Amino acid sequence: MSEQNPVVVLPDDEYNRTLVKNVHPPAWVNPEPEGRYNIVVIGAGTAGLITAVVAAAVGAKVALIEKHLMGGDCLNVGCVPSKGLLRAARAWADVRRADEFGVHVPPGVKYDFAAAMARMRRLRARISHNDSAHRYKQLGVDVYVGAARFAGAETVEVEGPAGDRTLRFVKAAICTGARAATPPIPGLAEAGYLTNETVFSLTELPPRLAVIGAGPIGCELAQAFARFGSQVYLVEALHGILPNEDRDAAEIVQAALARDGVTLLCCGKDVQAGKTEGGKRLTVDSHGRRYDVTVDEILVGVGRQPNVEGLGLDTVGVDYDKAGVTVNDRLQTTNRRIFAAGDVCSRYKFTHAADAMAQVVIQNALFPHPFGLGYAGAGRLIMPWCTFTEPEVAHVGLYEKDAQAKGLEVETFTFRLDEVDRAILDGAEEGFARVHVRKGTDKILGATIVAAHAGDLINEFSVVMQSGTGLNTICGTIHPYPTQGEVVKRAANAWRKTTLTQAKKEALRKLFAWLRR
């Protein structure tokens, strides 16, 4: 039997107590296992939750184990709190540009960061019911609170607060996710720093904030805190921001961050941190200049590290490395009875990716015919993603350089938002839709959208790619006017215009001339 301290999520207010009551109930009693489970799922983040609930829905006997907070990163320290924070920051930015729309805001308007954070915690607590232990129990899942490890060929030990349990399984799924990675910056540990796992506990706005890493997490939070009023320094080792994105798209977002007051220190070298009397000191070389800044907080957003420790993977012959658990196309590990899904084994560290992978695990672990990530739709994984800055950047499929590296001949078509009526009227005309097609066809290889709601707009390209059709489908689809979504059809129309060759034009000219006789 082991003793565990009660889980407390800071700040310890009514909203976070509701959150904990749902996703790590203090008085939870683990069930007594009876017989073998069809599947034991370790980790109750998105991948684990979906695997467990769908497996139970089709009649399987399912155990779900979580040692910390059900809902995983997405609910507790990821998508849900970050988007609540971004929405509040956007409201603050809208107030500052209200004059543009004829609203004259008097001086002395009160901005309340603590209230914005309380709103986020209130909404997170409300949403947490969906991932709660009690709800999953009602849905037919045996929920175990405690640390899990493989103890034998078909057993998992759960170290719970009121005693240990031994679970026997036919199949198992590792869905333990990932955590924030820490860069090897001298003095960082001594100075102290925030990650996505701690930043949402803030109740006071840091007047000065350094953000290390200009990937999606770093850019989203840098812009949000700048809009709240922090003086933000964004440090990136590579040139510019969003180094994996389309360069034109990244440059639009970079300009938006600069307008919001973010100071970018890119091509950053020799980064060092430490404590100082006035706060925390950060030094960095950027474009040949040495910067020495004092901040109140340092926020690290440089990637994710898979949670593979303490699971007893060696005991059951499951291979893993620094990238996570090794899986095949069917998400089967090197132990044929054990599968994995989500951030612990995927390079796509998104909630929607974990959801899709859970479906693959269910199919392969519970049913006899194989189903792999490469079996879907057009024979390849169609994985869209979005960075939720303002404007947003969304992408699906290949970038032009990636298609060319595969030896594919590519044609690229771009349509700008400042030529779309609704975007002009909304005052949101920065951005574009860009689509890459295989030369001589309408088959979409990839697409990027930069727009206020790019994450919603990218779905049209994704659906067409998944269905195996092409730009002709978009061209032949009626789009309502005026919408920002028109930018997708206008990009498709740019391709269609190229299909009207000079030879076709000449043939049509002769036809119409003949008809006039």
User: What are the structural domains of the chain?
Assistant: 14-77+122-178+305-367 (3.50.50.60), 188-302 (3.50.50.60), 385-502 (3.30.390.30)
Q: Evaluate whether 344 touches 175 at the Cβ level (below 8 Å).
A: yes
Separation of alpha carbons 23 and 46, rounded Å: 13
Separation of alpha carbons 161 and 146, rounded Å: 7
Instruction: Give the residues across from 157 on adjacent strands.
Output: 149, 166
Rounded to 10 degrees, the C-alpha dihedral 241/243/249/251 comes to: 40
Separation of alpha carbons 92 and 89, rounded Å: 5
Separation of alpha carbons 283 and 184, rounded Å: 14
Task: Give me 122's structure tokens.
Answer: 């209130």
Separation of alpha carbons 251 and 266, rounded Å: 13
Separation of alpha carbons 298 and 218, rounded Å: 11
pLDDT recorded at residue 511? 87
pLDDT recorded at residue 189? 97
Q: Evaluate whether 47 touches 178 at the Cβ level (below 8 Å).
A: no
Task: Give me 398's structure tokens.
Answer: 């290949």
Amino acid at 16: N
Number of H helices, E strands in the chain: 16, 23
pTM score, whole prediction? 0.95
Mean pLDDT of successive 10-residue stretches along the chain, which has 517 residues: 72 98 96 97 98 98 98 98 98 97 94 98 98 98 98 96 92 98 96 97 98 98 98 98 97 98 98 95 97 98 96 98 96 97 96 96 89 52 96 97 95 98 97 97 98 98 97 97 97 94 83 87
- 89: enclosing H helix or E strand: helix 79-96
Per-residue pLDDT of 435-451, as tens digits, reads 999 999 999 999 999 99
